[in-house]
Amino acid sequence: MPAAAIVAQSLSKNYGGTDVVWAVKDLSLRVERGERVAIVGKSGSGKSTLLNLLAGMDHPTAGELTVAGRNLHQSTHQEMARYRLETVGVVFQAFQLIPQRTALQNVELPLLLAGIHRQQRQARAREALAQVGLSHRLTHHPYQLSGGEQQRVAIARALIHAPQLVLADEPTGNLDSATSDDIVSLLSKLCEEQGTTLLLVTHDDDVARRTCRRTIRMSDGRICPADSTPSPLQPPERTH
């Protein structure tokens, strides 16, 4: 049996000095390879902190965290940087595109950092943008794109290096409802086609239901056991 994509055991993360705040507290979680899982919770529930730990942007205070066979709780800063470059892709609510770069340049950035030759990385970036329906926007800068188009660029960038895990942090939070439908359908479709594990952080139950096969609820830094159950999944709508 292949190793799980994510295994967290008694994972905790706190902040502060005298007044310690436990953003994640004694959390255990297992996500299988290729699963699509939604983490749902109100603001302050700990879901964003969990995502930061999974993205290798922060170290746990206690417990163990293994992603795609890498022990993140024991990793050095250099190993964490390599992990972010090779293993995980992140889709942010605010897109996080570089304003001075075109859509093509934004998408190819992970391959540039990985030392991939220019001709090869640009060919792969063009292909990735074609997959998200933006072949006609290669030379456009973020300010020339709609919110939905910017998020499509961000999805292409997150998937360009064929990561084993994609983390989506409120990917529809800055979009209208119609555009949100297109984005969640596209993200779900691409992850399924590539066999990529998807962890979606959202406060929106409808987005969770339409994107993922399992929903996990968080409150006060912990998983709510009664709500960590499979959820019905509607087939993704056709994107256009």
Stretch(es) of the chain classified as CATH 3.40.50.300 = 1-87+163-240
0.75 surpassed by pTM: yes
Alpha-carbon span 160 to 134, nearest angstrom = 14
CATH superfamily of the 1-87+163-240 domain: P-loop containing nucleotide triphosphate hydrolases (3.40.50.300)
SS3 19: coil
Residue 177's pLDDT is: 86
Residue 3's pLDDT is: 67
Residue 21's pLDDT is: 87
The whole-chain average pLDDT of the chain stands at 89
Residue 210's pLDDT is: 87
Residue 186's pLDDT is: 92
Using the Cα atoms of residue 57, residue 176, residue 149 and residue 145 in order, give the sign of their dihedral: negative
Residue 235's pLDDT is: 47
Q: Which residues fall within 8 angstroms of residue 171, CB to CB, at 6 or more apart?
A: 91, 92, 93, 151, 154, 155, 183, 184, 187, 200, 202
Residue 4's pLDDT is: 78
Instruction: Tell me the HSE value of 116 on the side-chain side, using a 13 A CA sphere.
Output: 19
Residue 214's pLDDT is: 93
Per the listing, tokens 């084993």 go with 164
| Residues of the chain scoring pLDDT < 70 | 1-3, 226-240
